[in-house]
Chains A and B, each alone.
Chain A
C-alpha cells in the first residue's frame, strides 16, 4: 500500500499540514452524524409533512384512516408475530448456543455453519422455506406428506424464526461462552445438580445475551416485509406490507407516510420503555 511517489507523498503531507489543527476527531464524528442525518434522519422526518394533507381542510385525514380496524389489525399482528417469533427463536437459539458453548473444540467449528445463513440473502432463504412448505414441493414429493402450512400464520413464524435465528445465536453464544467454568464447577461441587446449575448459575449469567438477542429479533421480525409477503396470505399482512402496498400499488404516499410515522413512533416508544429497564446502548453493543 505504501506508494513512494514523491509527488503523492508530498501532496499528502501538504494536505496533512493544512488539516493540522483544523480537523479534529469531533469533526469526524460530526461528519458521520451529518451523513446519517442528511440521508436517513431527515428523509424519515420529512415523512411527517408528507403524511399531512396540509393544503386541505382535513390535515389529519390519513391518520384518521390509520385508525380503521384493518390497519389496527396489521399493527397488532406485527407486534404479535414479532413476540411469537422472538419466543420461538430464543428457545431454538438457546439450545444451539448452550450446546456450542459447552461443546468440544471440534464441534465448535459448527459455529461457522450457523453464521453461513447470515451471508445468504433473505429472499433466497424465504424461497427455500416456500419450497419446503409447497403442497407439490420437494418435501411433499419425497415424503408424501403435504404440509398444509403455506400462506398460514405458522408458515410466517417458521420463516421469520429461521431467518433471524443466527442473529439470536451470536449474542447468546457470546454470553454463554463468557461464563467462567469455575462458577459452574463450584455449583456442582456444592451439590447442585445439572438443572439447578442451569437455573441458578448459567441462565442468570446469560441474561444480557438473551435480552440482546430478543430485542434484535423482535425489531427485525416486527418490521419484516418479506416474511409475510412470501409465506403469508392476506390474513398474515404485517405493517411493512401495508406500507409497501399503499405506496407501490395504490400510490397513496400520504397514507403510506402516516402508517410509517405511526409505526416508527410506536417502536421508538417501545424502545424507550425497554431502555428504562435495560440500557439500550449496552444491549446494542452485544449485537
Chain B
C-alpha cells in the first residue's frame, strides 16, 4: 500500500471518529447542560462563568411543594416497582412454561402498554379508575405506573427463564418439595437477579413518567416530572435545574445499584 492511500485511510478514520464524537455529544450534552447550569449564580439557567452557587438547591429544600413531589415520586416508584416485579414475574413464568394456542400472539398483549401512546393509556386509566371508583392520587398513580412498567419486567424475567435449566426444578420436585418450596429454594434464587433488575427498571420508568401521569395526579400528589413540566411552562428559573439534577442523581443511583446487585 502506498503512503498516500494509508494517509487517506487514516484521515477517513479520523473524520469518522469526529462524526462519532459529534453524535456522542448530541446524545449527552442536553443532560450535561442541565447539570452545569444548576450551579449558576444568576437568576436564569446559565453556565457558571464566575463562581458556582448552591443557592438553587437551597431554594429547593425550602419549597414544601417540591419536597412533597419528591416524596410522592419515591413512594409511587417503590410501590409500583414491587407490584410490577411480582406480577411481571408470575406472568413471565406462566408464559415461558405453559403451552397454549396462540401463545406468541397473546404474549404480545403483555407488551401493549409499551406500544400504545402513554397519552391514551393516561386518559383510558383515569376514566376507568373513575368508573370503578378507585381513589385518585396514590392508588391511581401506583396502579397506572405498574401497568406501564410491567412490560419491562416481563421481558427481562422471560429472557432469563428461557435459559433456565428446568431439570433443577424436576430434581427438587422428585426429592419431595412442593411447587412453592421449589420456587422459594430453587427457581427464585436463580432468577432473582432478573426480577431485581426488572424491579429497578420499573422504578426508573415510574420515576420519570410524565405523559400518562399528568392525568392520574390529584391535588397534593404531583410527581417530580409533573412539577418540572409545570415549572417549564411558567418560566425558566434554575430551581428547575436543581430539581432535575436531584431526579438525575436518584435515577442514576438506582440504575447503578441495580447493576451492582444483579451482577454479583
Residues of A within 8 A of B (CB): 1-2, 12-13, 15-17, 19-20, 23-33, 35-37, 39-44, 46-47, 50, 92, 95-96, 99, 110, 113-114, 116-117, 119-132, 134, 136-139, 141-142, 162, 165-166, 219, 222-226, 229-230, 239-240, 243-244, 247-248, 253, 256-257, 260, 263-264, 267, 271, 280-281, 284, 287
**Docked-complex contact B120 and A225, CB < 8 angstroms:** no
Chain A residues with Cβ below 8 Å from B164 are: none
**Docked-complex contact A36 and B113, CB < 8 angstroms:** yes
Say if the beta carbon of B47 comes within 8 Å of chain A: yes
**Docked-complex contact A28 and B124, CB < 8 angstroms:** no
The residue that A47 contacts in the complex, of B36, B127, B143, with Cβ under 8 A, is B127
Chain B residues with Cβ below 8 Å from A136 are: 44
10 A-B pairs with the lowest CB-CB distances in the bound complex, closest first? A32-B91, A128-B30, A223-B117, A28-B94, A29-B94, A16-B178, A121-B208, A16-B180, A43-B128, A25-B98
The residue that B34 contacts in the complex, of A44, A47, A127, with Cβ under 8 A, is A127
Chain A, Cβ-Cβ closest to B103: A29
Chain B 111-154, CB-CB to A under 8 Å as 1, else 0, gives 11101111111111101100100000000000100110010001
The residue that B211 contacts in the complex, of A17, A28, A46, A226, with Cβ under 8 A, is A226
**Docked-complex contact B87 and A32, CB < 8 angstroms:** yes
Would you give 27 A-B contacts (Cβ < 8 Å), ordered by A?
A20-B179, A25-B97, A29-B94, A29-B95, A29-B100, A32-B87, A32-B95, A39-B143, A40-B124, A42-B128, A95-B23, A116-B31, A119-B204, A121-B251, A123-B229, A124-B248, A125-B30, A127-B244, A128-B31, A128-B33, A131-B30, A137-B45, A141-B46, A225-B119, A253-B123, A263-B117, A267-B116
Chain B residues with Cβ below 8 Å from A116 are: 28, 31, 252
- Minimum C-beta distance from B32 to chain A (A): 8
Chain B residues with Cβ below 8 Å from A96 are: 20, 23-24
Chain B 231-251, CB-CB to A under 8 Å as 1, else 0, gives 010001000100010011001
| Contacts A123-B208, A128-B31 given; does A39 touch B125 at CB 8 Å | yes
Most buried by B among A33, A40, A120: A40
**Docked-complex contact A39 and B120, CB < 8 angstroms:** no
**Docked-complex contact A243 and B27, CB < 8 angstroms:** no
Chain A residues with Cβ below 8 Å from B131 are: 46
Chain A, Cβ-Cβ closest to B258: A119
Chain B residues with Cβ below 8 Å from A41 are: 109, 112
**Docked-complex contact A26 and B100, CB < 8 angstroms:** yes
**Docked-complex contact B179 and A47, CB < 8 angstroms:** no
Chain B, Cβ-Cβ closest to A284: B111
Residues of B within 8 A of A (CB): 16-17, 19-20, 23-24, 26-34, 36-37, 44-47, 87-88, 90-95, 97-98, 100, 104-113, 115-125, 127-128, 131, 143, 146-147, 150, 154-155, 177-181, 184-185, 188-189, 204, 207-208, 210-211, 214-215, 224-225, 228-229, 232, 236, 240, 244, 247-248, 251-252, 254-255
The residue that A219 contacts in the complex, of B115, B147, B154, with Cβ under 8 A, is B115
Chain B residues with Cβ below 8 Å from A165 are: 26-27
| Contacts A257-B123, A260-B123 given; does A25 touch B110 at CB 8 Å | no
In the bound complex, how far is the Cα of B179 from the Cα of A17, in angstroms?
A: 8
Chain B residues with Cβ below 8 Å from A40 are: 112-113, 121, 124-125, 147
**Docked-complex contact A132 and B30, CB < 8 angstroms:** yes
Chain B residues with Cβ below 8 Å from A42 are: 128
Chain B residues with Cβ below 8 Å from A31 are: 87, 90-91, 94
In the bound complex, how far is the Cα of B236 from the Cα of A137, in angstroms?
A: 10
- Minimum C-beta distance from A230 to chain B (A): 6
In the bound complex, how far is the Cα of B86 from the Cα of A35, in angstroms?
A: 12
The residue that B117 contacts in the complex, of A1, A19, A240, with Cβ under 8 A, is A240
The residue that A281 contacts in the complex, of B94, B104, B225, with Cβ under 8 A, is B104
Most buried by B among A96, A119, A229: A119
